[in-house]
Amino acid sequence: MHDAHRKAAEQHELAAQAHRTAAEDNEKGDEAAESWHSQPALEFSDYAYRLANSLCLKSKNTWP
């Protein structure tokens, strides 16, 4: 289970990094790059959520 937690944390960090990059692109006014970086941010976020939710269900904790 520790590996699954580590993997979820890694996905959260990748999502955060992609979101930061998309935000920087937005500040520069580069809409194409912002859009391009937003897609992997969404994918990393979604995968991290699914991993965390799965871990929560396996540990029988409640998830808001």
Task: List, for residues 5-62, the tens digit of each pLDDT value.
Answer: 898 899 999 999 999 999 999 999 999 999 999 999 999 999 999 988 888 777 765 5
Q: How is the chain split into domains, by residue range?
A: 2-58
Model-level pTM?
Answer: 0.76
| Distance between first and last Cα of the chain | 21
Distance (Å) of CA 48 to CA 2, 10, 55: 15, 8, 11
Q: What is the pLDDT of residue 40?
A: 92
Q: What is the pLDDT of residue 53?
A: 86
Q: What is the pLDDT of residue 39?
A: 93
Q: What is the pLDDT of residue 1?
A: 58
